[in-house]
Chain A
Amino acid sequence: MTALAMDLSSAGLPPSALPDDATVLAQVAIIADGPLRNAAREIDEGHYPLEIMTALGGTGALGAHLRHNGGRLGLAIAAMQTASRACGSTGFLMWAHDVCGLYLEGSDNPALSSSLLETHSAGLTFGGTALSNPVKAVAGIEDFLLRARRVPGGYIVTGALPWVSHIASGQYFGGMAGVPKADGGFSHAILFFMRCDDRIALRPCPRFSGMEGTSTWSVRFDEVFVPDAEVIADPAQLLLGRIREAFILLQTGMAMGIIEGSINDMRDVEGQLGHVNRFLSDRPDELTGELAELRTRIMRLAETPEDGSTDYMVDVLDARCQASDLCLRASQSALLHQGARGYLHAAAPQRRVREAHFAAIVTPAIKHLRWEMARLLRDEVPA
């Protein structure tokens, strides 16, 4: 438990102002199965759905996992699943937003951890995470793209990140930069808060195959000063080590929603095509059973994100990896189940296949997850 969490509990604050889980999920379902479902194609092609995010924030879904709301990680994942069954892009925005909330919560600066966190978790202000490269850097897969140099009162950050989602002018994100050593390599990394103002340049990314409404930009840091007050963790590992399980588990909400949506696509055509679709593998009942089992495991893991053991971490990576695999199978099968109508450009299975591909390649991608599991399971030998 951090100093902040202890402060709150010892201050005797009310445990939660958030409605119970069932109410939150019911409200999220109304949004998902109504306006979000109708907007899904438009979002896939480029609409950045901040109005939906505000509505989701109003239900409490964007702050459920935070400590002052009872740390209901399972609820945050379930809410993301519900939204993602309508639109994977929105599920991804919720993930980025939720993780940004974890950074803000981890800051010692009350301007971030209190006032901004409040508007953030209510879906009134927005921010994402630029953690794709740092997660790979910490795992030893690639180098840090941002470099930070200590100066009086803060750090100077330089470098560029190719794609950062859920940001726009006036929004913000949590970033990580390596602090280089004199002899090459990095002594450690810092995690910092960054507002998208004129200190950094946002440039459009090349067109992606889908998920265009996630407001994803290339971000350039040219000697940007980050004051100490906006350094969230130094070294970054202090916070990262505490939130990495939640960071990865939350992504399973997006994946499970894509699977659920794919199963729904199959069931939609069962009346007309069931007689011939029964010759396909990965049928809806089969996938429903697999999803239910996986979901049970994920929800159990979500109860103890502070576990800290290697075995637990491997279980988390395994569940995330399996969710990606199942996403790919389910979306592919949804397309086969719908046949020609699923091959129409505007058909839901077309979008879900791209969403599933995204869930499988976004950091940590399937290959990164396997790399990390192998790294964790290898025997440690004295140096």
Chain B
Amino acid sequence: MSTAWRQYICRACGLIYDEELGDPDSGLAPGTRFEDIPDDWECPLCGVTKADFEPYARCAHAQAPEQVIVAQRTPGIVIIGAGTAGWNAAEALRALDGDVPITMITRCAGDVYNKPELSVALTRKSTPDTLRRETGSAKAARLGVRLFPQTFAIGIDPVRRRLRTTRGTIDYTHLVLAQGAKPALPPSLPADLCWRINDLDSWAQFHNRIAAAPRRIAIVGAGMIGCELAEDFARAGHAVTLLDIQAEPLGGLLPGAAASRLAVGLSDLGVRFLGKTAVAATRRMAEAIMIDTSDGGAIEADLVVAATGLVTDTRLARSAGLVFDRGIAVDAATLETSAPGIFALGDCISIDGQPCRFIEPIAIQADAIARAIVTGAHGGYHHQPPVIRLKTKSTPIVLHGAPQPNLPWRTVEKGDRLVMEQWIEGACVSRLTA
């Protein structure tokens, strides 16, 4: 029995030669096998020769099956970002208005997860599947939201209320920016060598690289995320080195007595902390990554994680001419940006020049924005510094209020438990428990 008919594609113009059909116009009878075509035969469309044809395999669609996005003619509310802030905004809007068209644009799949869980995930033996609470498409269907996954917002025309994306231009009545913040990478920590754990996708890829065996992991930056990850990796059996320019972990935020407790707790778990250490360069050396420190030392690791802080990407704000001050500046009560009809919440905003990158205020912000958009009522958001809880089980630390970097701390209790406070003019402004 003869083999099945095959097809060949012209690499130049895309014409397909089907052996079953032949090319009668140029004298190839139906059923002419490709190998039987004379070498001087030309592509009937563009004139290249047989050598420029190759076997045709139908293009496998991109990794994820493409979702059918129903075209929608009525402009509605567009949300950029499908992290905690984006989904909270969608839920709050839908709760107040069952009909208003809502579109979400997200660079990822929009899957729902709880971001704080990423820094304790290994200890809990989580996997990407257990962290994912719902897929983006399922949640979008449930909320009646049109979701554009793997789509990048490129530019905003605030006058015509149009958003340019990598899937086309979308009209909006109101725009909600929930784009989040991205890791700030200094030049000494190049993106092709340093991991950043800032979302489920990046955590999943990192997890994939460390799941098989204990690895040597260097974490640059001993802020909250750096400390939490260090403890989590160490508890999972990895050899962790934690670097910071400060003398002690979380040295920029905590008073010395509390930072020392944290240092001891991490050390007991086997984390090697290198304080007063700055990274001069990072380079690949065979299978390993070398970190050159500015004091002339070198640290060898299998993987390097940068936990050097977050910044808000400026692209969208710049394209729309929005006021930007360490974040997208929003009105403290309404969360409206400097452009009418454009709101923002979550990690991307700043209020009076202060970003606030915690989960706690997001739901309240989303609610205020939803009320402002749907009812036209004043949002009435009151920003309060959230309670900060460091998820380091070795030394749990809780901070209430707004710690001031240069204000002295009073020790209220010292023993098994450490309690410290900062006071201004007879009022306690922050309280720490370790």
| A residues neighboring B (CB under 8 Å) | 133, 142-143, 145, 159-163, 203-206, 218, 220, 290, 293, 311, 314, 318, 321-322, 325, 370-371, 373-374, 377-383
- Chosen A-B contacts, 16 in total, with CB atoms closer than 8 Å, are A143-B11, A160-B46, A161-B12, A162-B12, A220-B47, A311-B315, A314-B315, A318-B154, A318-B164, A322-B164, A322-B169, A325-B169, A379-B202, A380-B192, A382-B191, A382-B192
Per CB-CB distance, the 9 closest pairs between chain A and chain B, nearest first, are A160-B48, A162-B46, A162-B12, A380-B191, A370-B166, A218-B47, A374-B166, A203-B47, A377-B152
A160/B12 in contact, CB under 8 A: yes
Q: Is B142 close to A, CB under 8 A?
A: no
User: Which B residues touch A142, using CB under 8 A?
Assistant: 11
In the bound assembly, the distance between CA atoms of A218 and B46 in angstroms comes to: 7
In the bound assembly, the distance between CA atoms of A380 and B201 in angstroms comes to: 12
In the bound assembly, the distance between CA atoms of A378 and B195 in angstroms comes to: 14
Of A145, A321, A374, A379, which one neighbours B12 at CB under 8 angstroms? A145
A202 to chain B, nearest CB (A): 10
User: Which B residues touch A159, using CB under 8 A?
Assistant: 52
A377 to chain B, nearest CB (A): 5
B202/A381 in contact, CB under 8 A: yes
User: Which B residues touch A133, using CB under 8 A?
Assistant: 12
Of B11, B48, B152, B193, which one neighbours A382 at CB under 8 angstroms? B193
B154/A218 in contact, CB under 8 A: no
Known: A160-B52, A382-B195. A321 touches B164 (CB 8 A): yes
User: Which B residues touch A145, using CB under 8 A?
Assistant: 11-12, 52
Q: Is B309 close to A, CB under 8 A?
A: no
User: Which A residues touch B193, using CB under 8 A?
Assistant: 382
Interface string of B194-220 (1 = CB under 8 A from A): 111000001001000000000000000
A236 to chain B, nearest CB (A): 19
Chain A, residue nearest B13 (CB)? A162
B192/A162 in contact, CB under 8 A: no
In the bound assembly, the distance between CA atoms of A206 and B303 in angstroms comes to: 55
User: Which A residues touch B151, using CB under 8 A?
Assistant: 374
Interface string of B267-309 (1 = CB under 8 A from A): 0000000000000000000000000000000000001100000
Q: Is B188 close to A, CB under 8 A?
A: no
Q: Give the contacts of B121-177 with A (CB-CB under 8 A).
A: 150-152, 154-155, 157, 160, 164, 166-169
A259 to chain B, nearest CB (A): 15
User: Which B residues touch A163, using CB under 8 A?
Assistant: 46
In the bound assembly, the distance between CA atoms of A380 and B193 in angstroms comes to: 9
Chain A, residue nearest B155 (CB)? A318
User: Which B residues touch A204, using CB under 8 A?
Assistant: 47
User: Which B residues touch A161, using CB under 8 A?
Assistant: 12
Chain A, residue nearest B169 (CB)? A325
Chain B, residue nearest A322 (CB)? B164
4 extra A-B contacts, CB within 8 A, seeds A162-B13, A382-B193 = A160-B46, A371-B166, A377-B107, A377-B152
In the bound assembly, the distance between CA atoms of A317 and B403 in angstroms comes to: 44
A206/B45 in contact, CB under 8 A: yes
In the bound assembly, the distance between CA atoms of A381 and B199 in angstroms comes to: 13
A382/B194 in contact, CB under 8 A: yes
Q: Is B49 close to A, CB under 8 A?
A: yes
B48/A374 in contact, CB under 8 A: no
In the bound assembly, the distance between CA atoms of A220 and B50 in angstroms comes to: 12
In the bound assembly, the distance between CA atoms of A382 and B284 in angstroms comes to: 11
User: Which A residues touch B13, using CB under 8 A?
Assistant: 162
A295 to chain B, nearest CB (A): 14
User: Which B residues touch A373, using CB under 8 A?
Assistant: 152, 154, 166
User: Which A residues touch B160, using CB under 8 A?
Assistant: 290
User: Which A residues touch B303, using CB under 8 A?
Assistant: 382
In the bound assembly, the distance between CA atoms of A145 and B53 in angstroms comes to: 11
User: Which B residues touch A314, using CB under 8 A?
Assistant: 154, 315
Interface string of B1-17 (1 = CB under 8 A from A): 00000000001110000
Chain B, residue nearest A144 (CB)? B11
B167/A370 in contact, CB under 8 A: yes
User: Which B residues touch A322, using CB under 8 A?
Assistant: 155, 164, 169
In the bound assembly, the distance between CA atoms of A220 and B195 in angstroms comes to: 46
A274 to chain B, nearest CB (A): 23
In the bound assembly, the distance between CA atoms of A325 and B164 in angstroms comes to: 11
In the bound assembly, the distance between CA atoms of A293 and B160 in angstroms comes to: 12
In the bound assembly, the distance between CA atoms of A370 and B49 in angstroms comes to: 32
A379/B191 in contact, CB under 8 A: yes
Chain B, residue nearest A314 (CB)? B154
In the bound assembly, the distance between CA atoms of A237 and B107 in angstroms comes to: 29
A324 to chain B, nearest CB (A): 11
User: Which A residues touch B167, using CB under 8 A?
Assistant: 370
Q: Which of A159, A220, A379 has the most CB of B within 10 A?
A: A379
User: Which A residues touch B48, using CB under 8 A?
Assistant: 160, 162, 218, 220
A339 to chain B, nearest CB (A): 24
In the bound assembly, the distance between CA atoms of A159 and B12 in angstroms comes to: 9
User: Which A residues touch B150, using CB under 8 A?
Assistant: 374
B49/A383 in contact, CB under 8 A: no
In the bound assembly, the distance between CA atoms of A382 and B282 in angstroms comes to: 12
